[in-house]
Amino acid sequence: MARTAAARIALVTCREVRDSGYDRDLPVLAAAVEQAGADVAVVCWDDPAVDWDGFDLAVIRSTWDYSWRAAEFVAWAERCGARTALANPADVVRWNTDKRYLGDLAAAGVPVVDTRYLAPGDPADLPADREYVVKPASGAGARYAARYTPEEHEAAVRHLERMHTEGLTAMVQPYVRSIDTAGERALQFFGGRFLHAIRKGAVLEPGTAYDEDKVPHPNLRPWEPTPVELAVAERALAAVPGEPDLLYARVDLVDGDDGAPRVMELELVEPNFFLFLHPASVPVVAEAVVKAADR
C-alpha cells in the first residue's frame, strides 16, 4: 500500500553538537531530506522526551559523545531499534562501537592495521622496537589517543593506567608512518554504493598528550580512491557479521609498510559524511534516507 503521508525521519545527534553547530552537515542534510519529501526532526539520542514510535526512521548522525557512554548508547540503540527502524541497526551499533571488531575483520581475511588489546588487569606489554599508538577500543575523535616512541614507555604506561582505571580496554597499534606522507583516506558508502571519499592528514602529532584536544580531521580534501582501495573497503563491508542492510558506512584506510591499503577503522555508527566537501552527494544521501524510511 502506498504511503499517504510524508515519512517522519529523525536525524539523531547529541546536545553538545546541537548546541555548538559543530556538525556543519546536519542542517544541510535536514533541509535536503525535507526537500526530498519527508518530515524531519533533529533530536538528541538521550532526550527522554523523544517519542521514537513517532518516526518511520531514525538515522544516527552526530552522536559524537557516545564513546564516553558506550554501554548507555548501545542500550539506547536497542530500545530505539525496537520502536522504529534504526540506521544503522542496533546489532551493528553493538558490534561497531567496540573496535575489537578489527579482530573479526582480520579473521575474515580483511587487511587491517595490526592491533593488540590490553584490558584492565593486563600487563603493559608495549613495543620496544618501534613507534606505536595507544587508544581506547571505544573512542572517537582521537579521544585518549597518543603516539609514543620506545623511549616514552613510562608516559605510555601512565596512559594505560588512566584508561584502565576508567574501565577502558586499550588498543596498541604500530604507528603507520605512511600517514605522515600519504595521509588517511575515508571512503563513504551510502545505500550500498560508493558515494565519495576524502583524504586527511596525520591526527597524532609527536609529543601530544593523550588527554589533550586534537583536530580529528586535519587538512581535509576530496579524494579519488584507487581500485585497490575500493576493493579493500568492499571486502571490509562484506565481512560485517550477519550481512546487515547498511544505510551508510565509512571505511578508513592507510598504507601499510608494504604500500598496500589496510583498514584503520570501519565506521558504521556515526561517521562524518564530509558532505561540505562533496555538495553533489547531498541529494543522493537525502533520497537514500527517504527511500529507507519508505520501506
Structural domains in the chain, CATH included, are 8-97+284-293 (3.40.50), 101-112+177-274 (3.30.470.20), 116-174 (3.30.1490)
Over residues 3-18, the mean pLDDT reads 91
Confidence (pLDDT) at 4 = 58
Residue 116 and residue 86: Cα distance in Å, rounded? 31
- Percent of the chain clearing pLDDT 90 (strictly above): 87
Digit-coded pLDDT (tens) for 89-108: 999 999 999 999 999 999 99
3 state DSSP class of 209 = coil
Confidence (pLDDT) at 206 = 82
**Cβ atoms within 10 A of the Cβ of 169, count?**
17
Q: Which three cell numbers stand for residue 102?
A: 578489527
3 state DSSP class of 115 = coil
Judge whether residue 19 has pLDDT over 90. yes
Digit-coded pLDDT (tens) for 42-89: 999 999 999 999 999 999 999 999 988 999 999 999 999 999 999 999
Would you name the residues annotated as active-site residues?
A: 221, 250, 267
Measured in whole angstroms, the distance separating CA 181 from the mean position of its chain's CA atoms is: 23
Residue 136 and residue 94: Cα distance in Å, rounded? 16
Alpha helices for 194-238 (secondary structure H) = 227-238
Q: Which of 77-86, 121-130, 135-144, 259-268 has the weakest average pLDDT?
A: 135-144
Confidence (pLDDT) at 211 = 81
Confidence (pLDDT) at 24 = 94
Phi then psi dihedrals of residue 89, to 5 deg? -60, 160
Give the closest residue to 41 by CA, choosing from 53, 58, 24, 28.
58
Digit-coded pLDDT (tens) for 197-231: 999 998 888 878 888 887 778 899 999 999 999 99
Report residue 150's pLDDT band, with 50, 70 and 90 as the boundaries: very high
Q: Is 208 exposed, middle or buried (0-12, 13-18, 19+ CB in 10 A)?
A: middle
**Residue 25 identity (one-letter amino acid):** D
Strand order in the sheet with 85-87: 39-44, 8-13, 57-60, 85-87
Q: Residues for the chain: how many in total?
A: 295
Judge whether residue 1 has pLDDT over 50. no
3 state DSSP class of 155 = helix
